[in-house]
């Protein structure tokens, strides 16, 4: 890999006062405009029009710089990273994508648990269990009508996987009333941890949306539960407790809502496996036996006799000023049709309570790499004298790490009509590794975009490989799902797996090493010694897919039978 080019100095972003008229002209308001205070941030690299490892590395190095303090949404230095991306879009020739602005404001509420003055206690026949926060449990409230939420003497009920799926003839809540009770829930889907999963049982090894923790809290709310607690296990969750702790022990963000989210479960959280086993044992239940039963048809929810939960949550509530970043290369013939490249710019910011000297979650791979990648593709398009017939949009989402909120807001408040969006590619945390014989496509077998990708990969002597870990539910864990749920076909590629040097064993080892040692940890930092030949090979393919889409009249759809096909068909039927 050629060495990255050095940044040409630093830029100084200063606080300044602007008029209301100027803010309105930028598509902002006095209340919504983020204020970037004085500070020194990385400069913009001297890049070339071509897609190169040096340019990709230079951008990633900048976005993972300590000066941006982990790109926490709404923070001074986090929003400076969003400004850096907007300035980079302007520098390379993209136009503002949101009615004259590079930004789409995302109205957000922050809820910060006062852990020192909050408590979550399980009462059992053998005495209390008071898990240590955040090492044995994490909990929060999604409600923001008031600063205090309490649950008292709420009986515990084990509801298996907490799934109500009529299409699979499955209902974990059948015959049980959990109103006002605390539900204890397993992560993932029934059956997908089996050694040889039945492909006709849910989706076999592949996780469905029912396996996502977001769904489990949603269903618990529909059932009227007072609290919903998920049991963490490393293998089915695909990450260790440190990820649960780091992602949930600080401030949590939510899209603003008129009802203050009073329809959500009052108390949500996770407990460690050891804590769960202790709870089950004290209730006279064997955890593993109950988990096995929960994987069988006919499972019935089990009351955890003599056990209740009492919790008092005191939280600080405030608003958050953050934004998606949107740049566009206007089309020459059909500018009102859009091909998308997307990635999230945010990460976890700073966590003062984390062990060790390094408190900054730089997120060099997750997702400095994705944001840098779409800028690299954008520059290649922008510097090409041949303008695409359709517009190509480049969107950097905020608040992905808080539950895909930036993309969710765009999906429900699109800058352009959804039936004007042809389709897109979302890039999230592509690992720096060598070239490969293949390209992993998460959620493969979904849309006609794959036909085009297959054709392009053939020119590189490569093939699509299905997600080697479909049980992790990757298709439901990144921003493309927000657009998919409103019908827009999206690809979620994840880089090579069958590496030219080392084969699938090397690809597997790289993924496992990242998940264990850097994913959602301060150690996810830029490394000048990365081999970026694989990601560059991938970006060349993504560029060609977008180029062909942007210079055709093709409108790819979801394959027949896909869960999003009917949504897209209805959307396109309304297209003028």
Task: State residue 324 phi and psi, 5-degree precision.
Answer: -75, 150
Residue 44 CA to residue 32 CA, distance in Å, equals 26
Question: What does the pLDDT read at residue 296?
Answer: 95
Task: State residue 67 phi and psi, 5-degree precision.
Answer: -60, -30
- Other beta carbons less than 10 A from residue 308's beta carbon: 17
Instruction: Provide the residue-wise pLDDT of the chain in tens; the chain has 576 residues.
Output: 333 333 333 333 322 223 323 333 333 332 333 333 445 899 999 999 999 999 999 999 999 999 999 999 999 999 999 999 999 999 999 999 999 999 999 999 999 999 999 999 999 999 999 999 999 999 999 999 999 999 999 999 999 999 999 999 999 999 999 999 999 999 999 998 888 888 889 988 888 889 999 999 999 999 999 999 999 999 888 889 998 998 898 889 999 999 999 999 999 999 999 999 999 999 999 999 999 999 999 999 999 999 999 999 999 999 999 999 999 999 999 999 999 999 999 999 998 878 889 999 999 999 999 999 999 999 999 999 999 999 999 999 999 999 999 999 999 999 999 999 999 999 999 999 999 999 999 999 999 999 999 999 999 999 999 988 888 888 888 999 999 999 999 999 999 999 999 999 999 999 999 999 999 999 999 999 999 999 999 999 999 999 999 999 999 999 998 889 999 999 999 886
pTM score, whole prediction: 0.85
Q: Which CATH class is domain 110-318?
A: alpha beta
Question: What does the pLDDT read at residue 563?
Answer: 87
Domain ranges of the chain: 10-35+45-106+322-573, 110-318
Residue 446 CA to residue 391 CA, distance in Å, equals 24
10-35+45-106+322-573 domain in CATH 3.20.20.10?
no
Question: What does the pLDDT read at residue 2?
Answer: 33
Cβ(348)–Cβ(365) below 8 Å: no
- Other beta carbons less than 10 A from residue 419's beta carbon: 19
Cα dist. 31→17, 27, 386, 454 in Å? 14, 12, 41, 47
């Amino acid at each position: 890999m050629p060495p990255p080019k050095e940044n040409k100095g630093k830029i100084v972003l200063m606080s300044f006062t602007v008029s209301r008229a100027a803010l309105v002209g930028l598509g902002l308001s006095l209340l919504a405009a983020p204020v970037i205070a004085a500070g020194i941030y990385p400069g913009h690299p001297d890049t070339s029009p071509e897609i190169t490892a040096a340019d990709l590395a230079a951008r990633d190095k900048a976005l993972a710089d300590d000066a941006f303090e982990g790109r926490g949404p709404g923070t001074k230095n986090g929003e400076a990273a969003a400004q850096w991306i907007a300035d980079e879009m302007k520098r390379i020739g993209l136009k503002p994508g949101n009615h004259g602005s590079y930004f789409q404001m995302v109205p957000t509420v922050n809820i910060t648990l006062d852990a020192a003055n909050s408590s979550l206690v399980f009462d059992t026949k053998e005495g209390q269990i008071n898990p240590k926060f955040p090492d044995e449990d994490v909990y929060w409230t999604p409600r923001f009508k008031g600063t205090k939420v309490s649950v008292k003497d709420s009986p515990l009920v084990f509801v298996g996987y907490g799934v109500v799926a009529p299409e699979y003839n499955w209902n974990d809540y059948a015959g049980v009333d959990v109103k006002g009770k605390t539900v204890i829930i397993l992560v993932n889907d029934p059956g997908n941890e089996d050694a040889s999963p039945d492909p006709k049982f849910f989706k076999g090894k592949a996780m469905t949306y029912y396996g996502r923790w977001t769904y489990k809290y949603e269903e618990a709310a529909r059932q009227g539960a007072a609290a919903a607690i998920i049991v963490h296990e490393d293998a089915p969750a695909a990450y260790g407790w440190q990820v649960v702790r780091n992602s949930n022990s600080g401030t949590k963000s939510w899209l603003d809502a008129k009802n203050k989210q009073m329809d959500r479960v009052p108390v949500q959280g996770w407990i460690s496996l050891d804590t769960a086993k202790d709870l089950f044992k004290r209730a006279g239940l064997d955890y593993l036996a109950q988990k096995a039963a929960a994987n069988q048809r006919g499972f019935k929810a089990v009351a955890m006799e003599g056990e209740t939960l009492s919790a008092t949550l005191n939280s600080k509530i405030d608003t958050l000023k953050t934004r998606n970043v949107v740049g566009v290369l206007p089309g020459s013939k059909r500018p009102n049709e859009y091909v998308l490249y997307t990635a999230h710019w945010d990460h976890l910011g700073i966590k003062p309570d984390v062990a060790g000297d390094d408190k900054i979650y730089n997120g060099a791979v997750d997702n400095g790499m994705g944001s840098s990648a779409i800028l690299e593709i954008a520059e290649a398009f922008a510097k090409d004298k041949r303008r695409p017939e359709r517009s190509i949009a480049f969107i950097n989402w905020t608040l992905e790490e808080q539950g895909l909120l930036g993309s969710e807001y765009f999906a429900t408040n699109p800058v352009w009509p959804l039936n004007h969006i042809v389709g897109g590619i979302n890039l999230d945390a592509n690992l720096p590794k060598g070239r490969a014989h293949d390209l992993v496509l998460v959620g493969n077998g979904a849309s006609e975009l794959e036909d085009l990708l297959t054709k392009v990969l053939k020119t590189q002597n490569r093939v699509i490989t299905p997600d080697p870990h479909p049980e992790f539910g990757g298709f439901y864990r990144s921003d493309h799902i927000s657009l998919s749920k409103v019908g827009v076909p999206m690809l979620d590629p994840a880089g090579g797996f069958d590496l030219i040097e080392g084969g699938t064993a090397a690809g597997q080892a790289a993924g496992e090493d990242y998940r264990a040692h850097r994913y959602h940890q301060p150690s996810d930092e830029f490394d000048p010694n990365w081999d970026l030949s694989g990601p560059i090979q991938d970006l060349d393919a993504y560029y060609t897919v977008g180029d062909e889409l942007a210079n055709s009249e093709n409108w790819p759809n979801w394959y027949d039978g896909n869960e999003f096909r009917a949504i897209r068909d209805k959307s396109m039927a309304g297209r003028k």
